[in-house]
């Protein structure tokens, strides 16, 4: 019930293309869904997050789409750039009742110039 499954494990996209990473969760009590971005040699850092009261959140080229009925959420990176090459982790938690974040397995994104 605490698992968050992420796919694909790795993704290669051409510069200017759209990168899409998907996550699925089991626990319907989850109410906070962040995405973390990790560059080589660095710790993961919060990229963007969404609550289930909205179906989409956009920040610049990054968009989270959320489908509550399917228990899925995804990260879309528009106009992908080589500087976006990193590992992306989705996560989920029961923020309102104070449960810790559960992370997905991570997706290694490579954007070719």
Partner 1 sequence: DAGVIQSPRHEVTEMGQEVTLRCKPISGHDYLFWYRQTMMRGLELLIYFNNNVPIDDSGMPEDRFSAKMPNASFSTLKIQPSEPRDSAVYFCASSRTLGNTIYFGEGSWLTVV
Using CB under 8 A as the criterion, what x/- string covers residues 22-61 for binding partner 1? ----------x-x------xxxxxx--x------------
- Cβ of residue 6: shortest distance to partner 1, in angstroms? 9
Residue 99 as a binder of partner 1 (CB under 8 A): the answer is yes
Omega before 8 cis (within 30°)?
yes
- Cβ of residue 14: shortest distance to partner 1, in angstroms? 25
**Residue entry with tokens 């919060």:** 46
Nearer to partner 1, 2 or 16 (CB): 2
- Interacting span for partner 1 (CB under 8 A) from 19-27, 52-60, 73-81, 93-101: 93-101
**DSSP notation for 13-72:** EETTS-EEEEEEE--TT--BEEEEEE-TTS--EEEEEE-TT-SEEEETTEEEEEETTTTE
């Amino acid at each position: 019930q605490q698992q968050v499954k992420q796919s694909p494990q790795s993704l290669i996209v051409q510069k200017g293309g759209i990168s899409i990473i998907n996550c699925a969760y089991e626990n319907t009590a989850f109410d906070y869904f962040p995405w973390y971005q990790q560059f080589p040699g660095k710790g993961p850092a919060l990229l963007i997050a969404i609550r289930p009261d909205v179906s989409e959140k956009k920040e610049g080229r990054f968009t989270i789409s959320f489908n509550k009925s399917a228990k899925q959420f995804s990260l879309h990176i528009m106009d992908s750039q080589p500087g976006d090459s990193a590992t992306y982790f989705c996560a989920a938690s029961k923020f309102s009742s104070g449960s810790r974040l559960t992370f997905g397995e991570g997706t290694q994104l490579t954007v070719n110039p």
